[in-house]
Amino acid sequence: MKTKMMMICLAVVGGAVFAQHDHGAVQSAPIHSKKEKATHSHRAAPVFQNQLADVFMVSLQLKEAFVSSDTAKVLVAIPEIRNSILKVDMSLLKDEVLMDWMGYLKTLNESVVQISNSTDLIVQRKAFASFNDAIYESIKMFGIGGMTAYYTYCPMANNNSGAYWLSNSKEIRNPYSGNVMLTCGKVKETLQ
């Protein structure tokens, strides 16, 4: 039987402290593929949803920095994202739902570290795609307290491999190509 004993480790990354949790032999939940839809939604208390909504809102600043192709603005947005992620109280979750969040949290933290460790927009945008996959899955599963998010896709992003991003507007402002293809993309899903 797998133990659910939680050990908390703190790691200092780029000046910020990230809470990492190790659940022994329990594996983190994988990020769902683009074709697979999460079957659970809104499985968290309203307080958790509001904290996740804060992460989403702060991530919009990062998206806009990528829209403008401004690496300095990208790096300025990172500490706010780190802080918003740290404020999400995972003690509000239990059992399987906690394990799901741990998988998403791991990807969110890794993506933020990859973005902050580079000044190359191509590298940063690839990490931003992973960040968006994790925040999408999180919002899909837990909800964001009644807010609306638009999950948008551009097939030509990331060197024609395609990428998704979240927005609080239906207006297409592609963070993966800046002014080159600013309006390339289509809203694929509306999350509430």
Task: Please compute the mean of the pLDDT values over residues 4-21 and round it to a whole number.
Answer: 35
CB 141 within 8 A of CB 43: yes
| Percent above pLDDT 70 for the chain | 78
For the chain, the distance separating the N- and C-terminal CA atoms, rounded to the nearest angstrom, is: 36
Burial of 8 (0-12, 13-18, 19+ CB in 10 A): exposed
Of 3-12, 134-143, 161-170, the least confident: 3-12
Tell me the C-alpha distance between 168 and 63, whole Å: 11
Q: Where are the domains of the chain?
A: 46-191
CB 172 within 8 A of CB 184: yes
Compute φ and ψ for 164, nearest 5 degrees: -105, 160
pTM of the model: 0.78
Tell me the C-alpha distance between 182 and 29, whole Å: 33
Q: What is the DSSP string of 13-71?
A: ETTEEEEEEE-TTPPPPPPPPSSSPPS----S-HHHHHHHHHHHHHHHHHHHHHHTT-H
Confidence of residue 192 (pLDDT cuts 50, 70, 90): confident
> Tens of pLDDT along 84-100?
999 999 999 999 999 99
According to the model, what pLDDT value does residue 42 have? 64
CATH of 46-191, one of 1.20.120, 1.10.357, 2.30.30, 1.20.1260: 1.20.120
